[in-house]
Amino acid sequence: MILAVAAIALLVGADQLIKYLVVRDFALGESRQFLHIGDTELMNLTYVRNDGAAFSSMSGQRVILIGLPLLLLGICIWAMWKYGRTSPFLKWNIALVMAGGIGNLIDRIFRGGDVVDYLDIRLFHFAVFNFADCCICIGVFLILLYMLFDKSETDRPKEQGDA
Q: Assess whether 155 carries a catalytic annotation.
A: no
CB atoms within 10 A of CB 143: 18
Q: Assess whether 117 carries a catalytic annotation.
A: yes
Closest CA to 20 of 101, 91, 81, 110: 110
Catalytic-role residue among 133, 150, 155, 162? 133
What is the pTM (predicted TM-score) of this model?
A: 0.85
In the chain, count H helices and then E strands. 5, 4
Catalytic-role residue among 15, 107, 117, 120? 117
| 51 in Cβ contact with 62 (< 8 Å) | yes
d(CA 84, CA 18) in angstroms, rounded, equals: 29
Q: Which residues contact 10 (CB under 8 A, 6 or more apart)?
A: none
**List of the chain residues with pLDDT < 70:** 55-58, 60, 153-163
Q: Determine the pLDDT at residue 8.
A: 96
